[in-house]
Chains A and B, each alone.
Chain A
Amino acid sequence: MIRTHGGYTCVVPIKDGNNSQLRTNLKKLQDVSFHQTDSVLFASAAVIPKQNYFGEELPASLVFATTYCGSLDDHLLEISKFCYNELFDMFIHCQNFPGARNGHFAEILLFLKQHKYSSAFWSKYNGITKEDIVLEKKLYDEIQIYLDSEQKLINQQNIAPSAEIIKKEIKNHIISLGTHNPLLYQHYPNTAEKIQQIKEKIPIFLLMGGAIWFTVGAIKFFVASVKKFPKLTIASSLIIAAVAYMYYRYLFYQKTQTAKRIENAKMRRVETPQLHPVLNTMIATGPIKRGRVRRWFYSLVLKVVKFFPKRFLSGIPTINNIRWLVSDNDKRLIFLSTYSNTAGAYVRDFLNGSIPSGVNFMFNHGQGFPDTQGLYKGGIVNDPEGYMQAVYAGQQVIDFWYAHHPNSTSDLTNKYHQIRVGLLKDMNECESTKWLNLL
């Protein structure tokens, strides 16, 4: 079984005048069907309104996003079958959807594939399946119950037993229960997953190979040209470099309007649904800043970031999963994330430490975002409140949200996982003590 997490996103224009009906349908959706699937960790849907891109109207669209475990094909097949009615109720209000409710999941599957958007996605507990999450939490609870019964006895003993012995006792107890035997769980990473991981890396290897090939070719060409036409080559290279630099300055140093504070009522509409006690989800959308090259560049950035998600997208403890994508011919930026705590606290987390330069890099192309100097300087560092307003201004009401484990943060899920993995391992006294400290 493949355990890799992925993010599927589809963005579909809504039929004229169907926004409110679609919203009503989304609010009525039950999450039972999603819960029955093996692959869906999170699913969300939101209606994004018409937005203006320098006089051009970007249509009102439905954004439907899932975070899944396994291969994308299996995931789409699964939700097409299990969540047929839910997806039908959503897509019936979207343009180009074939229509009649006939129970043929193939239509839904095709529609999902046709409207798929690639995103720069990262999940903080990649490799942990839905089943793992349930079983590992059960395992944790069993260990806690066992320790509750034992802690008084241990406290009363004058000589403390060793950590190794306690750990073994816990392991024996869990095995004796039978139902929660962690030894029965599948080990991983398994072969299928390894193959999947390699398959995922193939495009980046190709890209890197292509880049190296191009660079070497360009250097060779340059050296040959210098030998043949030294003055012309150097002069034209300097001119090209100067023009490129000036264009870079023009494009990435331009002054734009930072978002203003939005009305309290809109803030309430957006923030109130994001008040689950542990996990929440948000979606923010907005047109990209002016410039075809900028759009092209940003789209390329997201394609590259996709292959190095951890390097670019980790570092914020409240993240559960996160994704960026561009839609509408690269004119609209869409940001989706599942996170812990409230929206305000989460958005503010991006302002801490060395992360702001990365956030500038990822966000600064959206309209309303504070201007950066170049690609990553300034921006939210110079105007943190402007950045907060920009995110608030772009946030949309989440009309439907399913979370498989809404009461566990990514760090907690990882901790439960560490406990299970550790329980199976042979450990010395020092390692056992560390493991016991996780409990």
Chain B
Amino acid sequence: MLINSLVTAAACQQNFHYPESNLELQDIQGILKSGYRKLKASSFVLLRIVNTDAAAKYLLEEVIRHIVKAGESKEVKILSDELKFAIHLAFTNTGLQRFLPEQVINAFSRPFTEGMVYNGAGAMIRRNNKTFYERECILGDIGPNSRSSWKWGIGEKTVDCMLMLYAEDESSLKELKAGLFDNLKNKGVEEIVTLTTNTFEIEKEHFGFKDGISQPAIRGFKEALGAKDSLNLIYPGEIILGYKNEYGSYAPTPFINECENSILTHKVPGESTKLDLGKNGSYLVIRQMEQHVERFWRYMYDHSIEKAATKEEAAILLAEKMVGRKLDGTPLSSKNSGKNQNEFDFRDDTLGQGCPFGAHIRRVNPRDQTHAGRSRALSGDISKKHRMLRRGRIYGEPLANNFDVKAMIEKSKNATIEDLENWSGTRGLHFLALVSDINRNFEFVQNAWCNTPTFAELTDETDPIISGTLPFSEGLPHFTTPQKLIRNRYKDVPPFTRVVGGAYFFLPGIKALNYILECRPDRGSKPVYSCPYANTNQHVKEVSDYLQKKRIEKYPTGINERIFHVNSIGWVSGTLKVDSNINVLNRKGLFKNPEDTYEFISRFSTSTSQLDGDESNASQTEKGLYGFAIKIFTGREAPEAVQDLILLTSDIFVPTLPKHQISGVKVVLGNNATRIKMLIKIIKETSATKGFVQTLIEIINFLKARKQSKNILTESYNSATPFLFLDRAVKWHAIPSKKNNKPPQTESAPNHLSKLLEASLSKGPVVFDLYIQPQQNEVEQPIEDSGRKWESDLEKVGELILKEFKEMEDRSVRFCPDNCVKEHTPLGEVNAIRSGVYKQMQK
């Protein structure tokens, strides 16, 4: 295989050592060091993970080892004869959710955790009678950049991870892809879209300007040693997590709680028990920007009033003013320009007569542009706190050969009105930026500098190249080119680019990458749930051991019996039908398509204080909690083949605190003395944690939930603990439909509930409406406290149509909160303990 031979060749090369550097080059992905200019062919393959285990295996065994490290990436440039490709791997929040528990995901920065297109609870804004979402406003994804025209990164085209492939030429890239993506379906991932890029000798973007000039030089890399330009020399912590930044501090970093056998060794600075999952990693922002080249040059040609000999030259001059550089990349404030086109400042252009204040390069990096009485040095320091390492590449054929601008102007002159009005979708830029803080380094620049209409005391102007719209306004932005006496103002400048896709990724360090893929909670060799919570593993062990002891006492023959909810009332098969009017926002996971149907099997049961297990003697005459466990067959491949919903007639799950799970089990299964002792312990400790009043409320709620049912089909059930609904926390509710005929009811008698269930279903299907109850307030509806009853409204998502009664117990069917699809995973430590215990007991 090409990959193996090339990797071997690369591995043989002696690593470069940078004595000046404190950077761990062997743990940093090489894309942070090099843009691989010599590897001219590249593709960014956006993937969805369909099978977590298979995907982890694939990425671990076939991808990770090929990732070029920063310690090697210098060779990629110099020794291109030996190393002809580079691979990098990054995950979105949804991708990491497949491997890491929610608590770890929440330790990432908010923009990453929520994603670029988050539209969940609390993110909605009403302006001018229209609805916007938080990130739309921050990033300016409105008007032409509206998500409605995105080709990927949203809805069904949500991305889990990205493979960045670089090769010397197209044929090598093709070979590389063939090697990596052979039989992709069996590897647990599916390709959503491949962002192809173009291979050009000339480093230009589609408007014809030299691109990729303005890059920071990162201290610690060898390339930065010679950098004299203080405006571009930045501390590594601005781009790479785990290092000091321009504030002399560390950017917030994701972490895991300290646990044994972890391959992560660095602690989060200032934290003694947290391991730094972000160390040597970075956040990667990708935005696919379509460029309308005809419109751009036609506008320049038609509207330019800059002083020039010909109309073409005036057009070029205006375009240069908008960009802030000449076509060849020379900055317009060139008096201070050094040999390097990135070494310049604005000290001699304080009036913007060279490079206008609204020009693209001033907005994305104002350098030493003074503002509001700040000195040049301070302004320069501030600009350095908002830098990005750009790794973008263009896609699509240029409008004219070799990006010949005059030819482009000619072509745009001949363009029809349709050509100018419509977006062709044929060419643009895959903007890639690496940052240590998405909010500070990327969103700030996009929002406060590029999209703000009052930047540098301008009026109604935004970045003419990448913004193209005024926030919350129907009007178009203007652009001003200051002149010696009277400025030239260009009114209503149309958008020349638009965003058609994007996502936030996390580009982990090599160790972190291994941790993510190897140390997943459900991998047998690692401690179960060791990382999300410090003590989960211990709780699982305590409960499992006690239950096992009890099981052995009761069933010495070793039969695989239930310990809780031992008494089945009956099994029922049926169909889950997604609601035909399901809210658009709820069309996620299993509920993506209205009227989709899934078969399920369910089990009604009742709790009992007797460790009985013999259905024929099951007591249905006692007061108790009733259970309705549903196993939905999703049609997906394992481990997502089923979705279990374990519902109860109680609004709360007791014991409510993780540490009391063992005490709770002993209350049910222990002798009387143990019961009283444990009850007192639970009440005492819960009171100490939550206060006596809340404890009392919980006790009352629990006691109220214990009742004698007259027909199991008339009860309402809910999950009591929260689950994920793609991007929201919800509780499941199953409530008897009003469409049902009034089911018969009888007084308490042995097995009367089973008999009624059978009798009711014999008359025809019985329908339960399935609702979700979304979390709206994390304080009043906490994930980690299953004792709090949620009060928010229910939203209907489907119907559970119960069809056929099955009398016999199917002992091979086991329910577990963790049997789920990725979009509906269980949340919270109580669920984690339940899942861990269920799994242990099934072994």
Residues of A that sit less than 8 Å from B by CB:
140, 144, 147-148, 150-152, 154-155, 160-161, 163, 166, 261, 263-269, 271-273, 275, 277-278, 315, 317, 340-342, 344-345, 348, 351-353, 381-385, 407-409, 411-412, 415, 433, 436-437, 439
Contact = CB atoms under 8 A, between A and B. Distances in A.
B621 to A, nearest CB: 43
Contact of B454 (A160, A278, A352): A278
Interface string B291-308: 000000000000001010
Contact of A340 (B378, B454, B489): B454
B24 to A, nearest CB: 22
Contact of B488 (A151, A342, A437): A151
A269 B485 contact: no
Contacts of B444: 342, 344-345, 348
Given A342-B448, A345-B447, 19 more contacts: A144-B459, A148-B489, A264-B113, A268-B123, A272-B125, A275-B125, A275-B138, A341-B447, A344-B444, A353-B378, A384-B247, A385-B249, A407-B453, A408-B454, A409-B454, A411-B372, A412-B454, A412-B459, A436-B485
A272 B457 contact: no
Contact of A266 (B106, B114, B374, B778): B778
B122 interface: yes
Contacts of B305: 151-152, 155
Q: Which 4 A-B pairs have the closest CB atoms?
A: A317-B372, A277-B471, A268-B122, A265-B778
A81 B491 CA distance: 43
Contact of B489 (A140, A147, A383): A147
B114 to A, nearest CB: 7
Given A275-B125, A383-B249, A348 B440 contact: yes
Interface in B440-473: 440, 444, 447-448, 451-454, 457, 459, 470-472
B249 A384 contact: yes
A66 B662 CA distance: 56
Contact of A261 (B252, B371, B372): B252
Nearest to B776: A265
B486 A166 contact: yes
In terms of DSSP, what is the predominant structure of the interface of chain B?
loop
B138 A264 contact: no
Contacts of B114: 264
Contacts of A341: 447-448, 452
B484 interface: yes
B121 interface: yes
B674 interface: no
A345 B448 contact: yes
Given A261-B252, A344-B444, A272 B124 contact: yes
A338 B274 CA distance: 37
A154 B305 CA distance: 11
B491 A148 contact: yes
B440 A144 contact: no
Most buried by A among B248, B378, B485: B485
Contacts of B249: 382-385
Nearest to A49: B779
A401 B152 CA distance: 37
20 contacts: A147-B487, A150-B486, A151-B305, A151-B488, A155-B307, A160-B485, A263-B778, A267-B110, A268-B121, A272-B122, A275-B138, A277-B452, A341-B447, A341-B452, A352-B385, A384-B249, A385-B249, A409-B454, A411-B372, A437-B482
Contacts of A409: 454, 457
A344 B440 contact: yes
B516 interface: no
A439 B125 contact: no
A178 B125 CA distance: 41
A263 B121 CA distance: 13
Contact of A277 (B110, B382, B472): B472
Contacts of A408: 454
A342 B122 contact: no
Contacts of B106: 263-264
Contact of B486 (A275, A381, A412, A439): A439
B378 A272 contact: no
A383 B439 CA distance: 18
A193 B95 CA distance: 63
B641 interface: no
B138 to A, nearest CB: 7
Nearest to A341: B448
A52 B35 CA distance: 52
A383 B484 CA distance: 46
A408 B459 CA distance: 9
B351 interface: yes
B250 interface: yes
A411 B373 CA distance: 11
Interface string B164-189: 00000000000000000000000000
Interface in B764-795: 775, 777-779
Nearest to A381: B248
Most buried by A among B121, B134, B248: B134
Contact of A163 (B454, B457, B485, B488): B485
Given A163-B485, A277-B471, A278-B453, A266 B447 contact: no
A344 B485 contact: no
Given A147-B487, A154-B486, A436-B486, A275 B134 contact: yes
A385 B252 contact: yes
A439 B121 CA distance: 43
Contacts of A436: 485-486
B485 A161 contact: yes
A415 B250 CA distance: 38
B381 interface: yes
B329 to A, nearest CB: 27
B138 A342 contact: yes
B371 A317 contact: yes
Nearest to A411: B457
Nearest to B447: A342
A345 B442 CA distance: 11
Interface in B216-253: 247-252
Interface in B353-372: 371-372
B489 A352 contact: no
Contacts of B676: none
B137 interface: yes
Nearest to A124: B372
A335 B217 CA distance: 39
Interface in B108-146: 110, 113-114, 121-125, 134, 137-138
B378 A352 contact: yes
Contacts of B482: 437
Nearest to A344: B439
Interface in B181-229: none
Contacts of B381: 352-353
Nearest to B124: A272
A378 B459 CA distance: 39
Contact of A352 (B123, B382, B452): B382
B518 to A, nearest CB: 27
Contacts of A266: 778-779
A269 B110 CA distance: 13
Contacts of B373: 315, 317
B125 A273 contact: yes
Contacts of B247: 351, 384
B488 A275 contact: no
B285 to A, nearest CB: 16
A385 B778 contact: no
A412 B457 contact: yes
A271 B448 CA distance: 15
B694 to A, nearest CB: 16
A150 to B, nearest CB: 7
A280 B453 CA distance: 14
Contacts of A415: 457
Contacts of A384: 247, 249
A439 B481 CA distance: 11
Contacts of B448: 341-342, 345
B459 A140 contact: yes
